[in-house]
Amino acid sequence: MSTKKVLEVVERLDGGVYTHVKTLINAISPSCSMRADLFVGPLGKLSGIHAHMIQSKYFDRTKGPNLFRTVFELHAQIRLHNYLIVHAHSTFSGLVVRIYQFLFDRTHQRKYVYTPHAFFSEKPMGRVKFRVVQYIERWMLRGFDTVIHVSSEEAEFSENYRLVRQDKIRIVPNGLPDIIPNLSFKDNNLIVMVGRVDKQKNPERFIAIANSVHAIIPSIKFLYIGGGELLPKLQDECSKLSFVDFVGPQDGVQAFLEKASLFMSTSLYEGLPFAVIEAMRSGLPVALSKVTGHAELVDGNGILFRLSDSDQKIADRIANLMNDSENLQLMGEKSRDLFLKKYTSSIMVGKILDIYRILLM
């Protein structure tokens, strides 16, 4: 049986997209009768991915004039290696693949898959820009045979705004390999967040809520792990606060999660965040903003709060949770159970491989 070739197309490997693509590619072995290669831009992480990599110096969203150079380079690689499936991850990659398909493969000699990892139009923006962005997204999505949503909320968003035909939609939640957590060094006064320090993750609100919780429970400490454009500014702002620490990127995040008592995220929007899934894998209860990509991760294992609520109202709910150690432990156990039931890498990879096989029939 001949090996079928799949090309994963990713402009920038970082954050959840890196974790998703690495988990997927590394699970595709010769025993699957498939081979997954990677067409990737010059930025982001490449370590830990076991695949043939085609790195394009032009594949960078910040350099608009290089868009068509990227498309022509992609065309050359697809023709050279005869990929049967092209799978784009995130908005800019989707746009590049859609332009390639429009210019060079209007008869659909290949199959096309798209995973948004959150739509660009989910970002806060004005009404006119929102309509323009959604028009582009609808045109882009018309070229794909299958659109994989990492959460049911993301799928609901695309259906509500008629971004893609329903028969093209598949829901495959993100997943991670299981690790048995070591919970022998718990700090009952530590709340942690893992993620980029940027506008999407809303770190200023994290600090504001931390201030309000600290006023109720002075022993509570907050730890924010991750790098990003806002890190230097917020490190400076928090240098005078003894209870909030922005520590930047860290190796061994698992150890921080195992030590903490609660995971908190104030994100403005998400796909289905790996950071929360990591926390659930570690048996952590969660306190999450009620936004797309968060709500379905809470089912008896934590709380959802509205970003429109006051800092004090959110802080009261978190403080009540932190003061109820028995309920906190039960929620942590529920997080672990939910992870094993829905969010392991074997479940995620198995569903994506099934999609590939159906497309190749």
Domain assignments of the chain as residue spans, ordered by start: 4-175+344-360, 190-342
Distances (CA, A) of 148 to 118, 173, 256, 338, 357: 11, 9, 31, 21, 14
The reported pLDDT for the residue numbered 31 is 64
Dihedral angle, C-alpha 5, 11, 15, 16, nearest 10 °: -40
Say how far apart CA 157 and CA 261 lie, in whole Å: 32
The reported pLDDT for the residue numbered 30 is 63
Residue 24 near residue 72, CB atoms below 8 Å: no
Task: List, for the chain, all residue ranges whose pLDDT scores fall below the cut of 50.
Answer: none
> pTM here?
0.89
The reported pLDDT for the residue numbered 3 is 83
Residue 269 near residue 292, CB atoms below 8 Å: yes
Say how far apart CA 63 and CA 57 lie, in whole Å: 10
Say how far apart CA 67 and CA 179 lie, in whole Å: 40
Task: Collapse the DSSP code of 40 into the 3-class scheme (helix H, G, I; strand E, B; otherwise coil) and give the result.
Answer: strand
Nearest by Cα to 272 from 128, 147, 173, 197: 173
Q: What is the CATH number of domain 190-342?
A: 3.40.50.2000
Q: Give the number of other Cβ atoms within 10 Å of residue 230's Cβ.
A: 17
The reported pLDDT for the residue numbered 186 is 81
**Is domain 4-175+344-360 annotated with CATH 3.40.50.2000?**
yes
The reported pLDDT for the residue numbered 327 is 95
